[in-house]
Chain A
Amino acid sequence: MLLSGATLIFVLVTGLVALPFLRRKGTASERHEIRTWVIGLGLAFPMTVLAALLAYGLVIGERLLPYPGDAVVEVAATGSRDGWIFTYSDAADRTTSAVLHIPAGRPVDVAITTEDVIHSFWVPRLAGKLDAIPGHVNVLRIEADAPGTYQGLSAEFSGPGYANLTFTVTAHDGAGWRAFLVGKTE
């Protein structure tokens, strides 16, 4: 939708740029020209488009926010230049590295921080990215619709080794998640 809207505006503008080469010199008065070009196309047109777009973005963004609910699973992700470490509030003794386990079909809040430089936690198919910043904890809401594995990436430049800073997210069905919590899954 963003793309088609953008294409439409692009075609409109390039068309307006091309036309004066094909037609004869304009004869409109300065006041009329200002009204058409500056006030109409320059002010009113973008304001309308942008207001709609902004409202759309805010509504979507609001829907992605982590609101408290009883079914929410809480996990923690700690970035480092050696890889990601994950811990689970439902199973205090479990720590995994490079693989994050979550239940499918339930909202999961990931508390993100780092032990060295800035990283960014990103699982493209589950949610947008959120930064891991020293001394701060950021919470990201993710949810996998179906069991399976999802590719995750660090998305903030962190020096040499940045390209290999990846992880996977394994989403379990109900039974698999219970098995993970009691330590039956590695």
Chain B
Amino acid sequence: MNALRRHRALSLIWASEPGIRGWFSTVNHTDLGRMFIVTAFFFFVVGGLLAMLIRAQLATPHSAFAGPDIYNQIFTMHGTIMMFLFAIPTFEGLAVYLLPKMLGTRDLAFPRLTAYGYWCYAFGGTMLLVSMLLGIAPDGGWFMYPPLSGAIHSPGINTDFWLIGITFVEISAIAAAVEITVSILKYRAPGMSMDRMPIFAWYALVTALMILTGFPPLILGSVLLEVERAFGLPFFQADLGGDSLLWQHLFWLFGHPEVYIIFLPAAGVISTVLPVMCRTTLLGYGWIVAAAVALAFLSFGLWVHHMFTTGIPHMGLAFFSAASTLVAVPTAVQIFAWIGTMWRGRPELHMPMLHILGFFVTFVIGGLTGVMVAVVPFDWQAHDTAFVTAHLHYVLFGGFVFPVLAGLYYWLPHVTGRRRFFRLGEFAFALIFIGFHVTFLAMHWVGLMGQRRRIPTYAPEDGWTAINLVSSVGSFVLAIGLAMVLFDIILNSVTAVRGRRDPWKAGTLEWAMILPPPAYNFASLPQVTGRDPLTRDPDLTSRLARGKGYLGRPRHGWRETLTVDVATGHPDFHVVYPSNTRLPIVMSAITGLFFLSLLLKLYWLTPLALAGVAVLACRWVWTLGRADDLPAQDIGHGLSLRPATATDRAPGWWGSVFLLTANATFFGSLLFGFAFLWTVAPGWPPPAWFTPSVLEICIGLAGAATGPIAIRWAIQAVRREANAMPALAIAFAAAGAIGVACAAMMLRAPDPGGHAYGATLTVLSGYGLFHAGLVALMIAVLIAKVRGGLTSTRRRSDFPVVGLWVDYLAATGTLILLVGHLPGFLS
């Protein structure tokens, strides 16, 4: 089989459906990565237009351009869109597109999940856009502080759009994070040990883990606030035992890591692109990985620095001030490692390099003003002024937009297979750079003169007129520059001449393929022996195309790949991916229906939508099953691998581990909220504690003790080809027992609308009840699979997955029951 015939055979297997139909049924990471990035840049344009409206409003005093009502919607949506609908999805898009190619494999771990995440993002973003077109967009600021965003002070539907729409979009972030983590750990080319991974993969891994632990507090906050608005459970109302500070903690517990979730992927782009631009390798690979990990840990200790003015004791402030300044250290390590890389190499001024220089200048200024606001007395003055607005734009534009533009120009030849022909980009860069600094240097200045953030207008006596006008003019120069970049990219994508393979002479694997990339990435998978495989072996691309690597023989119409051992990169199992399907888009549409029913208060529709999602989810797992055992598969070079279903640690198990990590963070945040209200909120202790019941607690704890034992018994049984049914039946009953105990607690909880205590117990027991139902459903599906003959000792990987969820239910159920019943016993 020659290279061309292999290409045709593989394309037939891997290609999405032709034409526009393919968009809706594709599960291919190249397609979905491009769709993510294009959608994200669409939202970037929308957010940018909103920014232009803000600057038009502030250009002159007493501006009558937009009234306060509209202006509040404009700046709220500007922040919301840039954070949630541009920055995070751009990272997801880059990672989805690049990672399998950089790691030398053919797709991400869960192709259908990639598609599901994309559609959740597209539908959720559309919801927010619709609210804006109807003039009922969120207007409480992107941070949505209650009580301003509560039902009393914001009775309209505006806030609900934010809380529900963003939670819907968040599903895609969690899905992508699980996907990226498992893909990096398990789906790599043979021989690619952790320390041979391209540096971008390290950054993506750290970022994904941060999303899994950073986003759940926000999701929890949104759920609680929406429940308060819709059903009157007073989590944030001070007169009923709630506390608006709880929102601030939950929000910034997400909000600060978010800044680094945005910065780290951009730093990953720089660490990848800069050495190539300097014709050398990255200085201090290990140090940079350590710095990224340190940044991730430190960023979770910083959230309080957004709350320096909320009256937190000064010693507390000292701790968080120290942590906030300390975070500059790992950042400095990266910056100087990059500069060191430039010194060891010979930098060349290509387009990506220009934007990297833009990054250096802008980001360093942003970092320095950041250290200023980390000093508590300075922050007491600068907080909530235009100075902070200017600072955060230096950090985010410098630390994200410039690197992303560098990456865009760097990987554009990869996506299009063309060479840049028109030279608009250089001129656009000059406009962006000058426009940006004029806009935001002026904003620092006017902030120090006392201009507050978020005011719709000001008076001529304030003396800010000239500076604001300069800032607005600068912003229009910046906008023209960005528009030119988009124009340049579109023009060069459709008209320019075909380019070479590996135009930058890079060493990473994404360049070891024909361009634009084929649906299957690599005709055969490489054996990796170092960090820059393509530098070591310039002939690699054609050898892989000729099928000299692993899995070079198309067979059975399978989308095949292999997984590797996490640390060493030795191949361990053989995987067959699912192929094109509309299941993801349908399922995310039904998920959207669920959120829509909450938004429009059509509560009769909510259970129907939930049932629809459950049915589709069952179908999702069912279609992967096989009725017969597959033998070990020959993957070439004398190696053969067993299918991943024949193990206890299949990709699905890893996915569940990381999904449960996010879930546990959510649950932990809920417990934190309970403890916070109890100790800090006014109006505690509540009028009456929950009346404890020995019977209920015994039923629940019996279930929590039996479930994990029964499911282990089932795992043993299927491994020995014995009958697993009795064990599964017991596990099912155990989940039911936990559900019954939680339901009893929910029914008997003190009036949830009367005090935050009753409200918290209701949510806690609801959480337990939901998980009991979920686990029961999983066990039921497993029982059906056993009856349908879809399991055997070589097809047993579902059992340990369900085992994880049973264990999780037992642990959280126990905690919920103890937290609910114990205070009553003790008092």
Contact = CB atoms under 8 A, between A and B. Distances in A.
Given A20-B342, A159-B140, A37 B377 contact: no
Nearest to A160: B68
B317 interface: yes
Contacts of A169: none
Contacts of A158: 148
A135 interface: yes
B309 A17 contact: no
A129 to B, nearest CB: 5
A10 B368 contact: yes
Interface stretch (B211-219, B330-338, B404-412): B330-338
Contacts of A17: 339, 342, 357, 360-361
B381 A37 contact: no
Interface in B361-414: 361, 364-365, 368-369, 371-372, 375-381, 383-385
A42 interface: yes
B456 A38 contact: no
Nearest to B284: A38
Interface stretch (A89-97, A149-157, A173-181): A149-157
Contacts of B378: 2, 57
Contacts of A120: 309, 383-384
A116 interface: yes
Given A6-B372, A20-B342, A127 B380 contact: yes
B779 to A, nearest CB: 45
Chain B interface, DSSP helix/strand/loop, else mixed: helix
A128 B148 contact: no
B232 to A, nearest CB: 17
B239 interface: yes
A65 interface: yes
B75 to A, nearest CB: 9
A162 B328 contact: no
Interface stretch (A44-52, A68-76, A100-108): A44-52
Contacts of A133: 238, 244-245, 310-311
A14 interface: yes
Interface size class of A (residues with CB under 8 A): 35 or more
B384 A42 contact: no
B326 interface: yes
A155 B384 contact: yes
Given A134-B238, A135-B681, A118 B336 contact: no
Contacts of A117: 145, 147-148, 153
Contacts of A159: 72, 139-140, 148, 153-154
Contacts of A54: 321-322, 325, 375
A10 B380 contact: no
B751 interface: no
Nearest to A127: B380
A153 B452 contact: yes
Interface in A25-51: 25-26, 28, 30, 33-34, 36-38, 41-43, 45-47, 50
B372 A2 contact: yes
A28 B280 CA distance: 13
Contacts of A130: 309, 311, 380
B451 to A, nearest CB: 10
Interface string A76-95: 00000100000000000000
A124 B357 CA distance: 37
A128 B68 CA distance: 26
Interface size class of B (residues with CB under 8 A): 35 or more
A64 B145 CA distance: 27
A74 to B, nearest CB: 16
Given A17-B339, A42-B333, A157-B148, A58 B321 contact: yes
A131 B140 contact: no
A9 B450 CA distance: 26
B824 interface: no
B287 A34 contact: yes
A68 B383 CA distance: 26
A156 B384 contact: yes
A81 B401 CA distance: 37
Contact of A53 (B342, B345, B371): B371
B555 interface: no
Contact of B332 (A33, A43, A138, A156): A43
A28 B344 contact: yes
B310 A131 contact: yes
B452 A33 contact: no
A34 B244 contact: no
B96 to A, nearest CB: 31
B454 A157 contact: yes
Interface string B430-456: 000000000000000000001011111
Given A41-B332, A159-B153, A14 B364 contact: yes
B309 A129 contact: yes
A37 B380 contact: no
Nearest to B681: A135
A133 B249 CA distance: 14
A42 B681 contact: no
B663 interface: no
Contact of A129 (B328, B332, B384): B384
Given A34-B287, A38-B340, A47 B329 contact: yes
B682 interface: yes
A32 to B, nearest CB: 10
Contacts of B368: 6, 9-10
Given A61-B317, A155-B309, A159-B140, 9 more contacts: A6-B372, A20-B342, A20-B347, A42-B287, A47-B329, A135-B681, A136-B243, A157-B384, A161-B68
Interface of B: 68-69, 72, 139-141, 145, 147-148, 153-154, 237-239, 243-245, 278, 283-284, 287, 291, 309-311, 314, 317-318, 321-322, 325-326, 328-329, 332-337, 339-340, 342-347, 349, 357, 360-361, 364-365, 368-369, 371-372, 375-381, 383-385, 450, 452-458, 681-683
6 contacts: A34-B340, A54-B375, A56-B375, A129-B383, A129-B384, A156-B384
- 7 residue pairs, one from A and one from B, having the closest CB atoms: A128-B380, A135-B238, A37-B340, A138-B311, A42-B333, A57-B375, A134-B238
